[in-house]
Amino acid sequence: MLKNTILLITATIIIGFMTSCSEDKYIPDVSDINIDVEINRFEQDLFAIDTTQINEGIAALQTKYPEFTDLFFQRIIPLDRPQAEPSFPENVKGFLTYPSIRALYDTTMMVFPDIQSVQNDLTSAFQFYKYYFPDRDTPSIYTFISEYSYQTFITQIDGKDAIGVGLDMFLGSDYPYRKYVPENPNFSEYLTRAFNKKHLTKKVMDTVIDDVVGLPDGKRLLDIMVNNGKKMYLLDLVLPETADSIKWEYTAQQIDWCQQNELALWTHLLKEDLLYETQNSKFRKLVEPSPSGPSNIPPASPGRAANWIGKAIIEAYMARHPNTDLMAMIREKDAQLILDKSRYRPKEN
């Protein structure tokens, strides 16, 4: 069952004792944190099944991955329905031999013949994650293909967190996703430009951080942008050497726009009385993925630009209260209180 409850684990981490990486960025030394990132190539074992011995192959798969196999065939590729149980082996055989599915698997194996570089990146990210959240487990990773249905999700396997990663959703920015699923807005170009290997670790950590932070308590723009700001703040901590363009899924020009127009954007939010607006349609493009910002701000503005300010508010809050541990900041759901205590002032350029 896909996990939809948030487990907040108490951790007391004081930001400090960090080694300098550059003039204005500090990265803790995590080299002595031993992390074993377990990556299970479920799709390889699934497609290795001899379809002339389908029952034996399914049994072996269920023995190796008892919980994930059930999850895969009941939720990801729903072939195992109660009314269709007698035909389940034939359904699996049909899935494995269907030409377009087989071609998708072959393409995925060309892009991900091995997973070592991904494992290295995830190991680094989870070392930082363990540094900041020592009481939380390192989740195991299960890769699969789902015919473009799932990218990443969090669940529980054997009572511990596990992350599912749909490798067919990371085949490259030039992969013709829109050709195969033309009506789905999730395959618009501004989104699929991040469907590649270099964004995979970021997407996994997004999923982990979403689970840590949870949902905002309120529906105001302020509530949502501050909550999203917490997530981006944590993403900076666990991916300190990753480019902003990857973490934000922005172009270099869009990053530059946010840096140069923070004051103008903040002024716009105040002038239009948007901070306390609860009608999502009036600010959706400011906090949710979109090719550009709302029509009443410059077209160069990227979607989700208000989250840039949300992160700046969190940065100001943590800088002004350096002894605040991360979990205390995360648990503080009063966005107005965070804004007030941050004494946030936008940067002028």
User: What pLDDT is recorded for position 10?
Assistant: 26
Longest dimension (CA), the chain: 68
User: What's the confidence (pLDDT) of residue 300?
Assistant: 79
Is the pLDDT reported for residue 12 higher than 60?
no
Burial environment of residue 141 by CB neighbours within 10 A (0 to 12, 13 to 18, 19 or more): buried
pLDDT in the model for residue 84: 56
**pLDDT on residue 5:** 30
Assigned token pair, 11 = 């951790």
Compute the distance between CA of residue 83 and CA of residue 85 in angstroms, rounded to an integer.
6
Convert the pLDDT of each residue in 41-64 to its tens digit: 999 999 999 999 999 999 999 999
Quickly state the pLDDT bin for 292 (edges 50, 70, 90). Answer: confident
Quick count: other Cβ atoms within 10 Å of Cβ 10? 10
User: 267 is written with which tokens?
Assistant: 């002024």
- Give the pLDDT score at 17: 33
pLDDT attached to residue 87:
87
Is 60 exceeded by the pLDDT of residue 16? Answer: no
Instruction: Please list the alpha-helical segments (H only) found in 220-334.
Output: 221-238, 244-247, 252-260, 262-271, 284-287, 305-320, 326-331
* Averaged pLDDT for residues 215-237: 98
Token code pair at residue 7: 């487990």
Q: Residues 302, 250: contact at Cβ < 8 Å?
A: yes
Q: What are 245-256's pLDDT values in tens digits?
A: 999 999 999 999
**Residue matched to tokens 């308590």:** 217
What are the pLDDT digits (tens) for 298-342?
777 899 999 999 999 999 999 999 999 999 999 999 999 999 999
pLDDT tens for residues 73-124?
999 999 876 545 778 999 999 999 999 999 999 999 999 999 999 999 999 9
pLDDT (0 to 100) of residue 22? 35
DSSP states along 111-162:
H-S--HHHHHHHHHHHHHHHHH-TTSPPPEEEEE--SSS-SEEEEEETTEEE
* Percentage of the chain lying above the pLDDT 70 cut: 91
